[in-house]
């Protein structure tokens, strides 16, 4: 529908393509205060979903130089927004229509709803949310009391990748209840297989390790595994006393992608830990990218894991204090 729209996927730690969002013609005006501002007509439209730039000063820069719509549900990003708004609340537009608008006026940032749910609510106000969007969203915030949530997630994975521009496929998914039922049925079988495979993988390759936040003497103990794509399902066979899980794998550029997950009932703040490493996310699941493996230390096999202090919410707050 929008042939000039360019979709850009980003991970934490990847450089942001500032060259693609520069104002048209680079036109800058000057207001009565003498400060420069970009004319609204020259700004490009940017929609950022389920992501924020680090450091957060880059989000402020992006909001000032573009027509930014920001839709996000990550706890760490929203906390950063609140701090930024307290000292930098408005964007001044250039003359001749000089005005002051809230820094992140476009979009919605809210914890508890998935980004796909927030996006549908923002773009389609008053419309009933498709079942597919709701099921995908509930998985993203780990609201899995409904068995269909996990089954639909794994059924969608078995479908392979759907390009965002394939409007026909997405329209069928949103409008055809039979298609959703078929995906759930397929996902149930995939889920049984995944549980068995994850348990076997963790028995063979799982180990206890300490996460070592920078500029801190703390050691945060976790059950670790060298695996690139992890979810809470990966660790579902673990001892229930384990409070924090960590999966990591090397990227093609030599850096390491790290994913953190906590168990149900745990007070560990994964987002706070990830933020200490320049990443972010939710209290229950978060991640970061590291240049090396110095952030982690394997616990000696002779040291009993149950004698080590369990990670707590207070410990996580101390990490980023």
CATH number of the domain to which 313 belongs: 3.10.310
- Determine how β-strand 207-211 pairs with β-strand 107-109: unpaired
As given in the structure block, the two tokens for residue 309 are 């202090």
Residue 4 maps to a domain: no
Same domain? 291 vs 194: no
How far is 120 from 134, CA to CA, in rounded Å? 10
Same domain? 160 vs 228: no
Model's pTM, two decimal places? 0.69
Question: Measuring CA to CA, how many Å separate 187 from each of 4, 231, 306, 310?
Answer: 35, 15, 36, 35
Q: What is the pLDDT along the chain (321 residues), one digit of tens a residue?
A: 666 788 888 887 788 999 999 988 655 444 444 445 677 778 899 999 999 998 888 998 898 889 999 999 998 888 888 887 777 655 544 444 444 456 788 999 999 899 999 999 999 999 999 999 999 999 988 888 899 999 999 999 998 888 877 888 889 999 999 999 999 999 999 999 988 999 999 999 999 999 999 888 888 999 999 999 888 778 888 887 888 999 999 999 999 999 999 887 788 899 999 999 989 888 888 999 999 999 999 987 555 444 455 555 454 555 544
Q: Looking at 56, 79, 109, which one is the last position of a domain?
A: 109
How far is 195 from 4, CA to CA, in rounded Å? 43
Nearest residue to 278 (alpha-carbon basis) of 262, 295, 263, 266: 295
- Give how many domains the chain has, as a whole number: 3
- Determine how β-strand 45-49 pairs with β-strand 67-72: parallel
Range of the domain at 78: 18-109
Helices (H), strands (E): how many in the chain? Answer: 9, 14
On whether the CB atoms of residues 69 and 102 are closer than 8 A, the answer is: no
End-to-end CA distance of the chain: 46
Residue 7 maps to a domain: no
The predicted structure's pLDDT at residue 218: 85
How far is 153 from 257, CA to CA, in rounded Å? 22
Same domain? 102 vs 58: yes
Cβ atoms within 10 Å, residue 309: 10
Partners of residue 222 on adjacent β-strands = 209
- Which residue bears the tokens 């899980």? 245
Same domain? 194 vs 218: no
- Determine how β-strand 256-262 pairs with β-strand 280-281: unpaired
Q: Check residue 142 and give left, alpha or beta (phi > 0: left; psi -120 to 50: alpha).
A: left
On whether the CB atoms of residues 131 and 115 are closer than 8 A, the answer is: no
């Amino acid at each position: 529908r929008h042939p000039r729209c360019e979709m850009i996927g980003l991970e934490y730690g990847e450089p942001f393509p500032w060259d693609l969002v520069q104002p048209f013609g680079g036109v800058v005006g000057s207001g009565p205060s003498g400060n420069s501002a970009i004319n609204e007509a020259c700004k490009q439209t940017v929609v950022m979903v389920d992501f924020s730039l680090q450091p957060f000063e880059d989000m402020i820069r992006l909001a000032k130089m573009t027509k930014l719509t920001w839709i996000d549900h990550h706890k760490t990003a929203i906390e950063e927004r609140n701090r930024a708004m307290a000292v930098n609340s408005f964007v001044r537009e250039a003359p001749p229509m000089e005005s002051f608008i809230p820094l992140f006026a476009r979009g919605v940032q809210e914890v508890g709803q998935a980004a796909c749910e927030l996006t549908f609510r923002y773009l389609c106000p008053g419309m009933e949310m498709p079942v597919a969007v709701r099921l995908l969203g509930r998985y993203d915030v780990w609201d899995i009391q409904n068995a269909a949530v996990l089954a639909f997630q794994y059924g969608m994975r078995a479908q392979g990748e759907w390009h965002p521009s394939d409007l026909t496929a997405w329209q069928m998914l949103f409008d055809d209840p039979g298609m959703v039922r078929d995906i759930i049925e397929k996902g149930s079988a995939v889920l049984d297989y995944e549980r068995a495979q994850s348990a076997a993988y963790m028995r063979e390759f799982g180990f206890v390790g300490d996460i070592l936040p920078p500029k801190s003497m703390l050691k945060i103990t976790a059950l670790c595994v060298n695996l690139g794509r992890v979810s809470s399902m990966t660790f579902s066979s673990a001892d229930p006393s384990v409070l924090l899980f960590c999966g990591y794998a090397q990227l093609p550029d030599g850096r390491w992608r790290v994913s953190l997950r906590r168990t149900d009932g745990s007070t560990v703040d994964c987002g706070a830990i990830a933020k200490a490493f320049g990443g972010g996310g939710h209290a229950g699941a978060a991640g970061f990218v590291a240049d090396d493996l110095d952030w982690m230390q394997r616990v000696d096999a002779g040291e009993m894991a149950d004698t080590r202090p369990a990670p707590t919410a207070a410990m996580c707050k101390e990490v980023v204090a």
